[in-house]
Amino acid sequence: MKIAVTAREKDLNSAIDPRFGRCFYFILVDLKSKETEIIDNLGEDVSGGAGIQAAQKLVKKNIEAVITGSVGPNAMEILQAAGIKVYQAVESNVGENLTKFQAGELNLITAPNANKKAGLKSWWK
C-alpha cells in the first residue's frame, strides 16, 4: 500500500504540514517495500486550485491514502472520487503518524475540514 504524508521537510523526521493543498512536500511511503519518495508540492506558490493540483499529483502516483491536517472541499472531491482515503494526523512528526496509521489509530476524514483558500492564511508561515 502506498500512502502520502504532507510534510514541512523532506524526511520522515520532518514536521507534518497541516495543510493539504499548500503543503511543502508530500512524502510517499510504500508500506510494503518501505521505499519513500519525495514530491515537491510547492503549494504556496499557486494562486488558486492548490488543493486540486495536489490531489491530482497523488492520483497520478496511485496513492491509496493520505495523512494530513486539513483538506478543503475541492481537494476532497477529487480524493474521494479517486478513492484516496484521508486520515487525520495527530502527531506533529511524519514518522510517528505513519506508526499510528499502521496501528490503525488514525481517524478517517470523510468531509472537508477546511474552507477554500484556508491554506493561504499567513499564520502558517
Give the residue, chosen from 12, 31, 38, 46, that forms a contact with other proteins under the rule CB under 8 A.
Answer: 46
Distance CA 114, CA 111 (A): 9
- For residue 29, give the nearest of 81, 102, 80, 78 by alpha carbon: 102
Asked whether position 110 contacts other proteins by CB under 8 A, the answer is: no
Asked whether position 42 contacts other proteins by CB under 8 A, the answer is: no
Secondary structure of residue 26 in the 3-state scheme:
strand
Span from 10-18, 25-33, 37-45, 77-85 in contact with other proteins (CB under 8 A): 77-85
| Closest distance to other proteins from the beta carbon of 22 (Å) | 12
Secondary structure of residue 74 in the 3-state scheme:
helix
| Closest distance to other proteins from the beta carbon of 84 (Å) | 9
Span from 5-13, 31-39, 73-81, 98-106 in contact with other proteins (CB under 8 A): 73-81
Supply 92's cell numbers: 506533529
Distance CA 90, CA 117 (A): 22
Name which of 65 and 106 has its Cβ closer to other proteins. 65
